[in-house]
């Protein structure tokens, strides 16, 4: 049994797809399929049920998955300890990112980190389930770190470090009835049609919470996975959206109006896994925290 086999197995198990698992592992599907088939022969079990269109873990595969994760983590810790002893950081850090990171310039952060630690590879991941998915992935050791929009408490498995906050605003077409207002209250939006992310995304949670607290209904017929789709729907008059001000400022040809009654706030936090964190992940976390604390001073 080789670590590479376990790496491929975990990737396919997470994605429930050989093709997506191969892309995640940066290799061809035939190599992944062959490695997993060899692992199954060595263990004398089938790890995946391939009888249906969507593959699934067998009971044996489900039992192996947490052990495989633990083995890969132990291997990475061993490599990190040797590299650190030799005086440099080495290895890979997997970072979960969001569609919008507010005032935090993630490319600039990663550029500085790469120049300081060229032997460390940073892998970026986005989650269909938004911040909730990222926090779950950090807890399950699928991510080392994650940028999340989450206002809940930290848990025994995941710590949260608040990086930034910014107000949210309503984005609409310039000819919308509310487009020329200087500010808005939540109650004035209860009859509007909303375009929003799916439950689990930070901006969706903030908006749902505000409407529920006010005892107001909200119609969300359009759930999207990216800002480009949301903006297209808004431009065609299909609804409005609430989003962080920095995200709204990047959109052209649309109007943005602050929501102040009550004030809606979007929060950016860094999620970290409790327990062992690799030296490379700790260094990247520190770089992110420094950038968030002094964005203007560290913009180049």
CATH number, domain containing residue 235: 3.40.190.10
By the 8 A CB rule, do 253 and 174 touch?
Answer: yes
**Does residue 274 sit within a domain?**
no
**Does residue 150 sit within a domain?**
no
Alpha carbon of 58 to those of 9, 14, 241: distances in Å? 12, 13, 42
Q: Which domain holds residue 63?
A: 1-87
CB atoms within 10 A of CB 151: 17
From 87, 106, 139, give the residue that closes a domain: 87
CA distance 185 to 203: 17
CA distance 264 to 149: 13
**Does residue 151 sit within a domain?**
no
Query: Residue 195's beta-bridge partner residues?
Result: 222
DSSP, res 264: P
By the 8 A CB rule, do 190 and 213 touch?
Answer: no
**Does residue 45 sit within a domain?**
yes
**Does residue 99 sit within a domain?**
no
pTM: 0.71
CA distance 238 to 232: 9
**Does residue 229 sit within a domain?**
yes
From 87, 117, 139, give the residue that closes a domain: 87
Q: What's the mean pLDDT in 270-292?
A: 89
Query: Residue 194's beta-bridge partner residues?
Result: 240
Give the chain's count of helices (H) and strands (E): 10, 12
By the 8 A CB rule, do 148 and 161 touch?
Answer: no
By the 8 A CB rule, do 201 and 195 touch?
Answer: no
Q: What is the DSSP string of 141-165?
A: TS-SEEEE---SPP-SSEEEEEEEE
Burial of 110 (0-12, 13-18, 19+ CB in 10 A): middle
The total number of structural domains in the chain stands at 2
Q: Return mean pLDDT, the chain.
A: 88
**Does residue 118 sit within a domain?**
no
pLDDT at 70: 86
Return the CATH number at 70. 1.10.10.10
User: At residue 296, does pLDDT exceed 60?
Assistant: no
Q: How confident is the model at residue 298 (pLDDT cuts 50, 70, 90)?
A: very low
How does pLDDT run across 26-62, given as a tens digit for each residue?
889 999 999 999 999 999 999 999 988 889 999 999 9
User: At residue 294, does pLDDT exceed 70?
Assistant: no
Q: Residues, the chain, total? A: 300
Element (DSSP H or E) covering residue 268: strand 265-273
Q: What's the mean pLDDT in 189-198?
A: 94
pLDDT at 225: 86
From 26, 59, 87, give the residue that closes a domain: 87
**Does residue 135 sit within a domain?**
no
């Amino acid at each position: 049994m080789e670590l590479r086999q376990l790496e491929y197995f975990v990737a396919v198990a997470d994605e429930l797809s050989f093709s997506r698992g191969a892309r995640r592992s940066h290799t061809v599907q035939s190599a992944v399929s062959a490695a997993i088939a060899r692992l199954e022969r060595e263990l004398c079990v089938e790890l995946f049920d391939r009888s249906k269109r969507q593959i699934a873990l067998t009971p044996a595969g489900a039992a192996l998955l947490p052990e495989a994760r633990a083995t890969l983590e132990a291997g990475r810790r061993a490599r990190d300890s040797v590299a650190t002893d030799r005086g440099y950081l080495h290895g890979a850090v997997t970072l979960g990112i969001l569609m919008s990171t507010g005032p935090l310039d993630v490319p600039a952060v990663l550029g500085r980190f790469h120049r300081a630690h060229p032997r460390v590879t940073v892998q970026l991941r986005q989650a269909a389930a938004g911040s909730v998915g990222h926090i779950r992935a950090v807890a399950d050791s699928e991510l080392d770190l994650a940028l999340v929009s989450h206002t809940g408490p930290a848990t025994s498995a995941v710590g949260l470090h608040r990086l930034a906050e910014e107000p949210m605003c309503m984005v609409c077409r310039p000819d919308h009835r509310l487009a020329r207002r200087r500010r808005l209250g939540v109650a004035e939006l209860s009859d509007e049609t909303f375009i929003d992310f799916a439950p689990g995304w930070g901006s969706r949670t903030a908006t749902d919470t505000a409407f529920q607290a006010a005892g107001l209904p909200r119609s969300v017929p359009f759930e999207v996975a990216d800002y480009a789709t949301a903006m297209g729907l808004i431009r065609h008059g299909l609804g409005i959206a609430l989003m962080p001000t920095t995200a709204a400022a990047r959109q052209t040809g649309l109007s943005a109006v602050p929501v102040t009654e009550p004030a809606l706030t979007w929060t950016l936090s860094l999620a970290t896994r409790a327990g062992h964190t690799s030296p490379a992940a700790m260094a990247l976390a520190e770089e992110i925290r420094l950038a968030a604390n002094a964005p203007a001073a560290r913009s180049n």
